[in-house]
Structure 1
Amino acid sequence: MSVPKASSIQFLLSDMDGTLLRPDHSISPRTLDAVRALREAGVAFSLATGRPPRAMQQQIEALGVDLPTAGFNGGSIVRPDGRFLVRHHVPVQAAVTALLLFEALPQIETWVFADNEWLLRHLDGALMPHERQALGYAPKVVDSFEEYLPRIDKIVAASGDHRLLAKLEARLHASTAGQAQASRSQPRFLDVTALEADKGQALSTLAEYLGVPLQRTAALGDGGNDSAMFRRAGLSIAMGQAPDQVKGEADVITGSNQEDGAAEAIERYILMR
């Protein structure tokens, strides 16, 4: 492909986990410097992630992001003052379908995000401690998810059985078609969100908010939930450790998140150092 000239990119929308963040969830000094240089060059920068907005604040402050950011894969776009620019909940019927499917399988940890809380039925999941560290806050144990059904932002099936998650993803595509969507934000996570919760739509919404044409936007990510913004951005950049399918949908590939791939992408393809 012909990579757009540095001066043509006016807005970069980046994923967080596996992209800007290293495996230990830290941000490297080089990445912080690259984002600072990007903003000093007049290029707008924001975040789109599967995380809840509550779990983005530390990174927003560290990166100096002063624009609306997209959580829940674009289901919630939040202004810097906390007001919602966009908010979409999972339809009740789709939520019930996903919960019945996940809770019937002992290999699956079922997590629900609603009312600014991370909700669990029990605390004995193997992946829960790692996610608690990543999100920066503790889950709330509930007897039932029923009362939260009208207000669910995201449902997650978490498991080390990646093949099982792939099968569940395909099954949900069929059973919730036209109601909600299921996507793999990471190999061990299957996210169920509103049909409108789409990073591609988030990119379009934020570009319109900024007055930037889509052909002058760039998207950076590593997961299946990033493909939607790859298809809309003027320049799409996949991380080096991304699955082959995700790499195949990107215009260019950078280094992994262990190799400062996000900083490399900003320097090479946007700042053109």
Structure 2
Amino acid sequence: MQKIKMIGLDLDGTLLNDKKELTPYTRQVMEEAIRQGVTVLVATGRPWMGVPEFLKSFPGMDYALTSNGARIVRTQDGSVLMEQLLSRDKAKKILEICAKYDTLQEVYFDGQGYAEAEKMLHVERYHHNPNMWEYIRTTRIPTEDIFGLVDRESRSLDKVQALFADLDERARAWKELETLEEVEIVGSLKYNIEVNAAGVNKGSGLVELGKRLGIEREEIMAFGDGDNDEPMLREAGFGVAMANAEEKVKATADYITGSNEEDGVAKAIERFVLEGGEVC
């Protein structure tokens, strides 16, 4: 039997409900886990600037794993604890492939997302979830020329993302991207593609952070619902999939909890962490 000392939480479709809210019940359970000495952190594909303010300032939450693990920051000041970045040249190749299709492309530098200005005017064409439209508009900096931005920055970056208007085009782009070496390709949504440097995923990031904090892999619990959560659920000592998770994510998990609309995170933390604190 193993006591849980760290909990990694995906945001969209997991910790947050469909309205992108943290319910009072889930907040209370998180606060109690922290009070009992558990390290609780978000583990998201979002950049640092895309993490909601109520989680950045959550009492006792000291770390945030962002951009699928490319950047782990200290929440107190946003300073970088760990980073593993994608090269500029590789990012340009990814953008060139995705630019062949009807996409809204984004790049993340230093925890900030930048998106194509013209496409952002029609975000509803590319982001098929209405609850995410305002999030994109308020957390991305518009740029007229995303290739020019990458050239001007002339340095490595956190991640590249493309949102697709057409799912068949997404499938074709995925096959093209798979021909590239030294990249990690995932899709947290059915209509997006996220590309990180090779070896970067939520699971490896969470385990490495645990090592730095003296926490063993077996003492880590992780929650998720999407494709980019699968490595985290597999690497963690105890992986929990949401009821609304993709089937392959559920197959990876040690336990399936309620959906993100049913406070599934809170219920599993209560059962396995607060009510005894041990899992098999």
The two structures have a TM-score, normalised by structure 2, of 0.86
Q: Tell me, in whole angstroms, the C-alpha distance in 2 between the residues paired with 1:248 and 1:191.
A: 22
Equivalent residue in structure 2 for 1:176, among 158, 161, 180: 180
**Identity of paired residues, percent?**
29
Displacement of 1:132: 4.9
Match of 1:17 in 2: 12
Match of 2:108 in 1: 113
Letter in 2 for 1:125: V
Match of 2:148 in 1: 146
Match of 2:237 in 1: 234
Local SS of the residue matching 2:139 = coil
Contact kept, 8 Å, 2:92 with 2:147, in 1: the verdict is no
Mark the CA change 1:189 to 1:59 in structure 2 (over 3 Å): closer, same or farther: farther
Match of 1:83 in 2: 79
Match of 1:192 in 2: 195
Local SS of the residue matching 1:90 = coil
Contact kept, 8 Å, 1:169 with 1:183, in 2: the verdict is no
Match of 1:211 in 2: 214
Equivalent residue in structure 2 for 1:253, among 247, 251, 256: 256
Unaligned runs of 5+ in 2: none
Letter in 1 for 2:240: I
Contact kept, 8 Å, 2:84 with 2:197, in 1: the verdict is yes
Letter in 2 for 1:124: H
- After superposing the two structures, state which structure 1 stretch, 150-159 or 48-57, moved more: 150-159
Q: Tell me, in whole angstroms, the C-alpha distance in 2 between the residues paired with 1:110 and 1:94.
A: 15
Q: Tell me, in whole angstroms, the C-alpha distance in 2 between the residues paired with 1:255 and 1:163.
A: 31
Match of 2:33 in 1: 38
Local SS of the residue matching 2:150 = helix
Mark the CA change 1:97 to 1:23 in structure 2 (over 3 Å): closer, same or farther: same
- After superposing the two structures, state which structure 1 stretch, 260-269 or 160-169, moved more: 160-169
Query: What is the CA RMSD across the aligned residues, in angstroms?
Result: 2.2
Mark the CA change 1:144 to 1:157 in structure 2 (over 3 Å): closer, same or farther: closer
Contact kept, 8 Å, 2:174 with 2:193, in 1: the verdict is yes
Local SS of the residue matching 1:30 = helix
Contact kept, 8 Å, 1:112 with 1:120, in 2: the verdict is no
Q: Tell me, in whole angstroms, the C-alpha distance in 2 between the residues paired with 1:64 and 1:41.
A: 13
Displacement of 1:117: 3.9
Displacement of 1:236: 0.3
Q: Tell me, in whole angstroms, the C-alpha distance in 1 between the residues paired with 2:88 and 2:56.
A: 34
- Number of residue pairs aligned between Structure 1 and Structure 2: 265
Is residue 244 from structure 1 mapped to residue 242 from structure 2 by the alignment? no
Q: Tell me, in whole angstroms, the C-alpha distance in 2 between the residues paired with 1:111 and 1:102.
A: 11
Equivalent residue in structure 2 for 1:263, among 255, 266, 273: 266
Displacement of 1:166: 4.0
Displacement of 1:57: 4.6
Local SS of the residue matching 2:232 = helix
Local SS of the residue matching 1:112 = strand
The two structures have a TM-score, normalised by structure 1, of 0.88
Local SS of the residue matching 1:39 = helix
Mark the CA change 1:167 to 1:258 in structure 2 (over 3 Å): closer, same or farther: farther
Displacement of 1:68: 1.9
Unaligned runs of 5+ in 1: none
Mark the CA change 1:66 to 1:100 in structure 2 (over 3 Å): closer, same or farther: same
Q: Tell me, in whole angstroms, the C-alpha distance in 1 between the residues paired with 2:172 and 2:251.
A: 21
Local SS of the residue matching 1:145 = helix
